[in-house]
Structure 1
Amino acid sequence: MRFNKLDLNLLVALDALLSEQNISRAAEKIHLSQSAMSNALARLREYFEDELLVQVGRKMEPTLRAQALRDQVRDILVRIDATVAAQPEFVPAHASRLFRLLVSDYTMTTLMPHLFKLAYERAPGIRFDLRPQITYPNRVLERGEADLLIIPKEYCSTEHPAEVVLQETFCCVVWKESPLAQGEMTYERYMAAGHVVVQVGDGQSAIEDWFMQRLGIVKRVEASTYGFLSPAHLLAGTNRIATMHRRLAEAAARSLPIVLRDVPVAVPTMEQSAQWHKHRTPDPGLAWLRALLKEAVTAMDHARHEGR
């Protein structure tokens, strides 16, 4: 099919080339031979009257025109996929769809087991691809490479719809043999202690520390790590404190020598949201999954209150 003399199949090749910036990888991504991809690049260069990708040392780098095209081409393809590929109805019991979710290890540990259980009961053919939340995960959402992003409301993109699925509070976690495990956790004790904190990518603070920084609170950081569960494993034998999501800390306390204390700082409640691409709002399968997420939160908190 052609539009303004452009073979629209070339847009798929262009998207792969701009994403991979490598002819061989781009060809593999869309199941073409390397020679066919080279031919597609030649035709694209002729149409746009631009080199699009130029060899710089051992790499290919996009030209300014290619950089300007990247997001627009991806948006076109996402829109087409959402319009043409989406099924008019979704029958869970007969579905075999793959859902791609970007989740943190907090969500992985607390919520995903309950979502998987419910999904298996109602739609055993459904498959999941859980991916880590890299820096700027909204870019993956923008490119249509994920169905849902589960992330604090404050980090959601303003360009796409989102809905809050759960609320979470925070608590202090300390080694049970530490002096900090005894007595009240006052503001003075909290600020005087060394802290284990989470950095979520490129030095970006976790949401609880982001909240505190906005309040002008600066903790004495003695260790940093990359996973939300890991601070609970790093406290034994120390007098350090970790400020953790309460649900995650409660789960960790069942198997680790730690105790939980209230945070002596007014840390706001975290609103964990599910966000999806605006072009996928009418998708009945995605609407089903979002509703199931809310059911999973109810199941998770029921199990929590039952002490399991």
Structure 2
Amino acid sequence: MRFKKLDLNLLVALDHMLEHRSVTEAAGRMFMSQSAMSNALTRLRTYFDDPLLVQVGRRMELTPRAEALRPAIRDVLVRVEAAIDRGPQFEPDQSDRTFNLLLSDYSLRVLMPTMFRLADDQNATVRFNLRAQEIAPYNQIERGEVDLLIAPEPFVSPDHPSTLLYEDRYVVVAWAKGKYGTGPMDSRAYEAAGHVVMVPPQQAQTVDGRLIAGGGLTRRVEATTFSFASLPYLITGTNRIATVHGRLAALMMNEADLVSYSLPVEAPPLRQMIQWHMLRDGDPGLSWLRDLALASAATLDGIDAMDALN
């Protein structure tokens, strides 16, 4: 199909090339050969009378024209995708739709098993694609790349709808048979202990890191990891401690032989949110997915994040 002499299929190719700044990666995403994608770029350059992507050293960079086109093209494609996905009704036991969710391994461990169970109770035939959270995760909502973002409140966008999923609190965990197995865990002990800390991609600051720094505390970091869920296991058998989500600690207290303490700094609850693109607000399938997440979160009320505290 053409619009003003432009083959509209080329817009999808251009969107991938502008996002990845690579002909090769864009070709892989679209299951095309590199030569076919290069041909698409040649046609686009001719149409827009602009090189669009130029080689700078070892990288491809966007021209000013390409930078200006990028948000407009993404917006058009998101609107088209939203219109296609929005059927008159949604039956989870008759749908083959794939839902893309962006979340941390903390949410993966605490929430997703219940979501899968509740979906199975409805005989849902949908598919779930769980994607690892990254820095500025709301960008993937903005670009329409994920259906649902599950993230702490500071990481959701004010430009798209969101709602509270559940609340949690951070706690300090230690090996029950180690140096800090009997407490107390005051600010002096917290700063003196060796810590295992989760460090997100690109060294982004975590919510607990902000709270600890805001409370005037420092951590003597002896080890870092990419996974929240690994923290309790990495301190087991050692004298190190870790700061983890209370609900995660409650799930792992027995299997990792841990004790837990209140965080030695005043901190508001962690508000875990769900967010979706504003153009998909009326999508029946996405409404079902949101309701599934909220129903799953409601079952967490029986898991008090502070139950395990000594």
Q: TM-score, normalised by structure 1?
A: 0.91
Identity of aligned residues (%): 44
In the alignment, is the contact (CA less than 8 A) between 1:172 and 1:244 conserved in 2?
Answer: yes
Could you tell me which amino acid in structure 1 is paired with residue 200 of structure 2?
A: V
- For each residue in 1:31-82, what CA deviation from the matched residue of structure 2 results, as whole angstroms up to 9, or x when unmatched? 4455543333222112211011224456543222212222221111001111
CA shift, 1:28, in A, is: 4.2
Residue 172 of structure 1 corresponds to: 172
Aligned pairs (5 A) from 1:51-90: 51-56=51-56, 59-90=59-90
Distance 2:233 2:14 in 1: 46
Could you tell me which runs of 5 or more consecutive residues in structure 1 were left unpaired when the two chains were aligned.
none
Partner of 2:145: 145
Alignment check: 8 A CA contact 2:247 2:303 kept: no
What SS does the corresponding residue of 2:228 show, helix, strand or coil?
Answer: coil
SS in 2 for 1:51: coil
Judged with a 3 Å threshold, the aligned counterparts in structure 2 of structure 1 residues 34 and 263 are, in CA distance, closer, same or farther, namely closer
Query: For residues 128-143 of structure 1, what are the structure 2 equivalents within 5 Å?
Result: 128-143=128-143
Residue aligning to 2:112 = 112
Is the CA contact 1:208–1:267 (under 8 Å) kept in the aligned structure 2? no
Distance 2:281 2:215 in 1: 36
Is the contact made by 1:165 and 1:293 (CA closer than 8 Å) also made in structure 2? yes
Greater shift, 236-245 or 296-305, is seen at 296-305
Indicate the residue corresponding to 1:220 in structure 2: 220
Number of matched pairs: 306
C-alpha separation between the residues in 1 aligned to 2:252 and 2:72? 44
Give the equivalent residue in structure 2 for 1:8. Answer: 8
Please give the secondary structure, in 2, of the residue aligned with 1:213: helix
5 Å-filtered alignment, 1:189-208, equals: 189-208=189-208
The runs of 4+ residues in structure 1 deviating greater than 6 Å are none
- Structure 1 letter corresponding to 2:47: Y
Matched, 1:19 2:19: yes
Change in CA separation of 1:220 and 1:23 when aligned onto 2, cut-off 3 Å: closer
What one-letter code is carried by the residue in structure 1 that aligns with 2:259? V
The aligned residue for residue 94 of structure 1 is: 94
Q: Aligned pair in 2 of structure 1 residues 53, 133: CA closer, same or farther (>3 Å)?
A: same
Question: Residue 267 of structure 1 corresponds to which residue in structure 2?
Answer: 267
Give the distance between the partners of 1:273 and 1:26, measured in 2 at CA.
31
Residues of 1 paired with 2:59 and 2:265: CA distance? 49
Asked whether the 8 Å contact 2:215–2:265 carries over to 1, the reply is: no
> Unpaired segments of 5 or more residues in structure 2?
none
User: 1:181 matched to which residue of 2?
Assistant: 181
Could you say if the C-alpha distance between residues 37 and 224 of structure 1 is closer, same or farther in structure 2, counting changes exceeding 3 Å? Answer: closer
Superposition RMSD in Å? 2.2
Q: Secondary structure at the match of 2:261?
A: strand
Give the CA deviation at 1:155: 1.1
Letter matched to residue 6 of structure 1 = L
Query: What is the SS of the residue equivalent to 1:65?
Result: helix
Q: For residue 297 of structure 2, what is the amino acid of its counterpart?
A: V
DSSP 3-state at the match of 2:73:
helix
For residues 132-173 of structure 1, give each alpha carbon's deviation from its aligned partner in whole angstroms, at most 9, with x where no partner exists. Answer: 112222222222111111000011122211111010012110
Question: What whole-Å deviation, never above 9, does each CA across 1:247-267 have from its counterpart, x for those lacking one?
Answer: 111112121121112222112
CA distance in 2, matches of 1:85, 1:250: 38
The question of whether the paired residues in 2 share the 8 Å contact of 1:95 and 1:123 is answered with: no
Which residue is 1:46 aligned to? 46
Q: Residues of 1 paired with 2:21 and 2:248: CA distance?
A: 40
